[in-house]
Structure 1
Amino acid sequence: MDFFNSAIDILKILVMALGAGLAVWGVINLLEGYGSDNPAANAHVP
């Protein structure tokens, strides 16, 4: 049973690390969306 407890602890750490990485990536994407470094990217030409 000790093996399963350690495996669950490792999975918890992996899930938390994955969530933190996704959160950082989302914040970076939000901040990049407000940048006006490339005005041509907003030109919606049909």
Structure 2
Amino acid sequence: AVNSPEDRTRWEARGTAAARMRRLMREDLGVGPLAERHSPLIDE
């Protein structure tokens, strides 16, 4: 079930990792919200 604590932890960890990766990419490339809006990592 999606509501299980294990799944919730997995989704939160995945979201945190994706957010961290987007932040790193943004810093490395010096780009703003445009890259975040079109990022393939956002697939919710």
Q: Same-fold call, TM > 0.5?
A: yes
**Regions of 4+ moved over 2 Å:** none
Does residue 25 in structure 1 map to residue 24 in structure 2? yes
Q: Which has the higher helix share?
A: 1
Across the two proteins, how many residue pairs are aligned to each other?
Answer: 29
Higher relative contact order (CA 8 A, sep 6+): 2
Structure 1 vs Structure 2: percent identity of aligned residues?
Answer: 7
Superposition RMSD in Å = 1.9
Q: Distance in 2 between matches of 1:24 and 1:6?
A: 27
Which residues of 2 match residues 1-46 of structure 1 at below 5 A? 5-31=4-30
Normalized against structure 1, the TM-score is what?
0.57
